Amino acid sequence: MTDSAAPAGAVFDARYARQIVLKGFGASAQSRLLTSRVLIVGAGGLGSPAAMYLAAAGVGQITLVDHDVVDETNLHRQLLYGTPDIGRSKIEAAAERLRTINPGVQVIAHEMKLSAQNAEALVRDHNVVLDATDNFPTRYALNDACLSHGVPLVYGSVARFEGQVSVFAAPDGPCYRCLFPEAPAPGTVPTCAEEGVLGVVPGIVGMLQATEVIKLLAQIGTPLIGELLLLDLLTHDQQRITISRRPDCAACRTQVRARNSSASSGPSPSASRSMNDVQHLSAIEVAALLASDTPPVLLDVREPWEFDTAHVAGSTLVPLNTLPSAISALNPQQSYAVLCHHGMRSEMAANWLAQQGFVSLINVAGGIDAWSRTVDPSVPRY
Could you list the active site residues? 192, 340
CB burial of residue 21 (10 Å; 0-12, 13-18, 19+): exposed
Nearer to Zn ion, 46 or 178 (CB): 178
Q: Which 3 state secondary structure label does DSSP give 266?
A: coil
Minimum separation from the CB atom of position 147 to Zn ion (A) = 7
Minimum separation from the CB atom of position 154 to Zn ion (A) = 16
Nearer to Zn ion, 55 or 146 (CB): 146
Inter-residue contact 382 to 310 (CB < 8 Å): yes
Nearer to Zn ion, 59 or 178 (CB): 178
Nearer to Zn ion, 149 or 177 (CB): 177
CA dist 171 and 192 (Å) reads 32
Minimum separation from the CB atom of position 173 to Zn ion (A) = 9
CA dist 202 and 50 (Å) reads 10
Residue 249 near Zn ion by CB under 5 A: yes
CA dist 114 and 117 (Å) reads 8
Residue span binding Zn ion (CB under 5 A) among the ranges 150-158, 169-177, 196-204, 222-230: 169-177
Nearer to Zn ion, 90 or 246 (CB): 246
Inter-residue contact 339 to 364 (CB < 8 Å): yes
CA dist 230 and 128 (Å) reads 22
Residue 280 near Zn ion by CB under 5 A: no
Element (H or E) spanning 298, and its range? Answer: strand 297-300
Minimum separation from the CB atom of position 38 to Zn ion (A) = 22
Strand 297-300 to 162-168 pairing:
unpaired
Residue span binding Zn ion (CB under 5 A) among the ranges 41-49, 70-78, 172-180, 296-304: 172-180
CA dist 113 and 187 (Å) reads 20
Element (H or E) spanning 61, and its range? Answer: strand 61-66
Nearer to Zn ion, 136 or 307 (CB): 136
Residue 177 near Zn ion by CB under 5 A: yes
Residue 27 near Zn ion by CB under 5 A: no
Query: Could you say which of 178, 208, 216, 271 contacts Zn ion (CB under 5 A)?
Result: 178
Instruction: Dump the DSSP string for 99-131.
Output: HHH-TTSEEEEEES---TTTHHHHHTT-SEEEE
For Zn ion (CB under 5 A), the number of binding residues is: 6
Nearer to Zn ion, 77 or 177 (CB): 177
Residue 167 near Zn ion by CB under 5 A: no
Query: Could you say which of 20, 65, 154, 175 contacts Zn ion (CB under 5 A)?
Result: 175
Residue 169 near Zn ion by CB under 5 A: no
Minimum separation from the CB atom of position 364 to Zn ion (A) = 24
CA dist 117 and 144 (Å) reads 11
Minimum separation from the CB atom of position 252 to Zn ion (A) = 3
Residue span binding Zn ion (CB under 5 A) among the ranges 27-35, 150-158, 177-185, 363-371: 177-185
CA distances from 369 to 157, 190, 204 (A): 21, 11, 28
Residue 132 near Zn ion by CB under 5 A: no
Cα 142–143–148 angle (5° rounding)?
95
Residue 252 near Zn ion by CB under 5 A: yes
User: Applying CB under 5 A, which residues contact Zn ion?
Assistant: 175, 177-178, 249, 251-252
